[in-house]
Amino acid sequence: MTDPVGKIPSELDQLPDRDTEETAEWAASLDAVTKAAGPHRAAYLMRRTLQHAEGAGLALPKLLETDYVNTIPTSAEPVVDGDEELERKITAWNRWNAAAMVTRGAKHGVGGHIATFASAAWLYETGFNHFFKGKEGDGSGDQLYIQGHASPGIYARAFLDGRLNETHLDNFRQESAGQGLPSYPHPRRLPWLWEFPTVSMGLGPLSAIYQARFNRYLTNRSIKDVSASHVWAFLGDGEMDEPESTAALALAAREGLDNLTFVINCNLQRLDGPVRANFKIVQELEAQFRGAGWNVVKSLWGGAWDELFALDTTGALVRRLREVPDAQVQTYQTRDAAYIRQDFFGSDPALVEMAKLLSDDKILECFHLSRGGHEPRKVYAAYKAALEFKGAPTVILAQTVKGFTLGEGFASKNANHQMKKLSVDEFKNMRDLLELPISDAQFVDGVVPYGHPGADSPEVRYLQERRAALGGPAPARRTHALAPLPAPAEKTFAAFDKGSGSQSVATTMAFVRLVKDLVRDKETGKRWVPIVPDEARTFGMESLFPSLGIYSPKGQTYEPVDRDQLMYYKEAVNGQILNEGITEAGSMADFIAAASSYSTHGEAMIPFYIFYSMFGWQRTADQMWQLGDQLGRGFLVGATAGRTTLTGEGLQHADGHSPMIAATNPAALTYDPAFAYEVAAIVKEGLRRMYGEAAEGEDRDVFYYLTVYNEPMPQPAKPSGVDEGIIKGLYRFNTAESAGLELPANAPRIQLLSSGTAIHWALQAQKLLAEEWGVGADVWSATSWTELRRDALEADAALLRGEERIPYVRKALEGVDSPVLAVTDYMRQVPDQIAQWVEQDWSSLGADGFGLSDTREAARRHFGVDAQSIVVASLAQLARRGEVRATSVKEARERYGL
């Protein structure tokens, strides 16, 4: 069915029309324009009308895509506050040295990327000269997320301003020799320069959004006023295909993060070829960002195009620019004027006439050289507009040429991302193009020289003066001399030492109770940052809602449905909890911002991020590496942990491997505590190490991963003398005798090493072994298989240095002459990490394979880790040693139905 005009009905047909005659007149006017001036003129008028309506504040859907032209016309560009000629010279030196360091490094086979910075040089230089605030002024300065492949250009600038020397540049990607430079932005490798690791593409834009959001969080909670800080994220157009790149765009717009600017270098190329060969990536990104609620500024064409746009009286040029696919634009970059005349201008009679007015040189200037991202005035205008726009974040889409100024062999070539060097002749051509005072004689034995105008040159003085006016060098990371945070009251932790008596308490709930007490601490309570991805009620955290509040920059603009209940849903501008919705990636980005606040803002914050353990490391392990790279500190808590404890949820919720994944991260201290008092002891130690009085030589830049369980169990009292073992990873919880079990004289004995919830099955097995088989079992709590392994590896390394050192696990088991059976609710590989350092006979049980939906008991029987399975495995191990009858193993299997 169609309406009287012959069009398909739309949502507008559902709205009452108070004046149908007026509506018909508007439609008739549009039809008349279409007939008289053509559809392009009609479309132009409609776009201008919509833009005018949007500017007037009318509530209309936003126009998602504009013409393929600059947002800011040349006539509206502000005057650049600075010396443009000196800035051109500075940029030329930086272009040269960036290419030189990579080319010189190529002789050692270490690689490097040249083309990215060549395309983005003015995007960075304009910011460094005019916009990026340093850390030596008021506040925290700006946060810069540098595109990873552009790092040579940042090193080149640090060389020019005296922060790096030629030795540093010659050790690009050669760190083991000392004075080396990491390939990409890496705080752990160059902690005085880099703040944010960004080369795992997609994580930079996601982290930048949550960093801007965390800045608002600190300000709104009155921790520190960082409202003057601006977050700049430099990204590639190809990088925007990563799902993390656009995952939080709506959050940034929803919360009005006008302290955030994305600068996307649209050189139309990814690593192997065009980003959108048959389409237009700039237009796609514009629609995506506008649809999400961002302010979009396009800087596509340089000043040379002004003449062409002035000649475009019919709109034919703008239409042609909109329809030409990106791969063809790339081709124009490499072809002569005749080809461009035929292929680009020859498609429309109006363009043919326009081309007759243009010289070949003018055509080549426009299509080869003149891009918005290569002209500092246009970049300056875009940046200024971004900072002045209020109420939403801004994305700048700057069109550039990948490999710009590097010569015809590089510019826009599909392979330029993998091209690591220029020839001497190419460098000489580049020198002439950039007008650098470097003589042929300086190319000694074919080695390209570094260039520097001199420490007292006008260029260097200007650069340093500009940075001084903006608050000091950038990028820069600061390690603040922060006073250790005072330790919370001892009674907070000691409350768990007495156990729970007959009450069953899950370790997840024990952790939540501990946090509830810690956030009440007068000294440090406000520094806790609870982060949860929409599972607070699952973990029993809803009691924190009314007391701490959920952070929202808008506060609570509604009356919650549960307002009359004790634990109602409370949002507040100064709320402490970050309840992120269903996004593990966003929650991790939150955690990273909070975990590195001690450096970024000089404010130590204590984040804890609690999540379904299956959906933490498995889904966001790359961000865990980013956390370690960024020297973050805090507590990651994998709740509802283990493969068999989450009743009925099944395969996709059954975590049997997170401690193994965590073990691969050098910055992660991984613990699998069995009891509430162990949780308290580990958190207490973590607070001391990361935020308190760290021991000499102790690495503070670590984070803790704790697995906690949802299975309620009676919590025992803390035995005496176990604190060292809890932290180091192993202690004897009890013996058969201390458990009150009767044993025959000279009873066979076995050591049951268990972690997390598995210790309860070991304790059941201990009783069965004594009462039914006459076997004595000692039960050990292995709080951290990973820390035991690391200690052993360090002992091995010490031996290679000629030092005598015994691994802690060997010391702990010293004097034990019975076999060891390790039990875990994870795959056997988790405890098997320490097998080679255990001198006793070793075997293990674990939950290997895929999970399944069933009761806890049935799941444990399925994986062979329940108490009866432990008994059979213990008897089998003792039978191999001849300490029990071999027939007892078969008898036990039959008795227990295994």
pLDDT of amino acid 6 = 44
CA dihedral 791, 797, 798, 804 (to 10 degrees): 80
Among 41-55, 69-83, 229-243, 781-795, which is the least confidently predicted range?
Answer: 41-55
Q: Is the pLDDT of residue 10 over 80?
A: no
Confidence of residue 4 (pLDDT cuts 50, 70, 90): very low
Average pLDDT, the chain: 93
Mean pLDDT of 54-61: 78
Cα–Cα distance, 657 to 642 (Å, whole number): 8
How confident is the model over 831-858, as pLDDT tens digits? 999 999 999 999 999 999 998 898 999 9
Mean pLDDT of 616-645: 94
Mean pLDDT of 863-870: 96
pLDDT of amino acid 811 = 97
pLDDT of amino acid 5 = 42
Among 73-82, 461-470, 539-548, 819-828, which is the least confidently predicted range?
Answer: 539-548
Conformation bin of residue 435: beta by default, left when phi > 0, alpha when psi is -120 to 50: left
Confidence of residue 411 (pLDDT cuts 50, 70, 90): low
Winning range, highest mean pLDDT, from 55-64, 474-483, 762-771:
762-771
Confidence of residue 8 (pLDDT cuts 50, 70, 90): very low
Report the amino acid identity of residue 334: T
Q: Is the pLDDT of residue 540 over 90?
A: no
Among 15-29, 481-495, 515-529, 615-629, which is the least confidently predicted range?
Answer: 15-29
Per the model's pLDDT, the better-predicted residue between 481 and 776 turns out to be 776
DSSP 668-694: EEEE---SHHHHHHHHHHHHHHHHS-P
Mean pLDDT of 146-156: 96
Cα–Cα distance, 553 to 572 (Å, whole number): 7
pLDDT of amino acid 413 = 54
Confidence of residue 414 (pLDDT cuts 50, 70, 90): low
Alpha helices by DSSP H, listed for 630-675, are 658-663
Cα–Cα distance, 351 to 824 (Å, whole number): 74
Q: Is the pLDDT of residue 419 over 80?
A: no
Selection from 721, 639, 633, 627 nearest residue 681 by Cα: 721
Q: Is the pLDDT of residue 526 over 80?
A: yes
Q: Is the pLDDT of residue 828 over 50?
A: yes
Confidence of residue 887 (pLDDT cuts 50, 70, 90): very high
pLDDT of amino acid 653 = 83
Cα–Cα distance, 661 to 829 (Å, whole number): 11
Mean pLDDT of 62-78: 91
Q: Is the pLDDT of residue 659 over 50?
A: yes
Cα–Cα distance, 872 to 867 (Å, whole number): 9
pLDDT of amino acid 257 = 98
Cα–Cα distance, 153 to 234 (Å, whole number): 13
Among 109-113, 152-156, 157-161, which is the least confidently predicted range?
Answer: 109-113
Confidence of residue 415 (pLDDT cuts 50, 70, 90): low
Selection from 198, 287, 192 nearest residue 245 by Cα: 198
Question: Sign of dihedral through CA atoms 411, 414, 417, 419?
Answer: negative
Q: Is the pLDDT of residue 487 over 60?
A: yes
Confidence of residue 59 (pLDDT cuts 50, 70, 90): confident
pLDDT of amino acid 407 = 74
Total count of residues recorded for the chain: 898
Mean pLDDT of 11-28: 77
The share of the chain scoring above pLDDT 90, in percent, equals: 81
Compute CA 880 distance to the chain's CA centroid, rounded to the nearest angstrom.
50
Q: Is the pLDDT of residue 14 over 60?
A: no
Q: Is the pLDDT of residue 12 over 80?
A: no
Q: Is the pLDDT of residue 632 over 90?
A: yes
Mean pLDDT of 665-679: 98
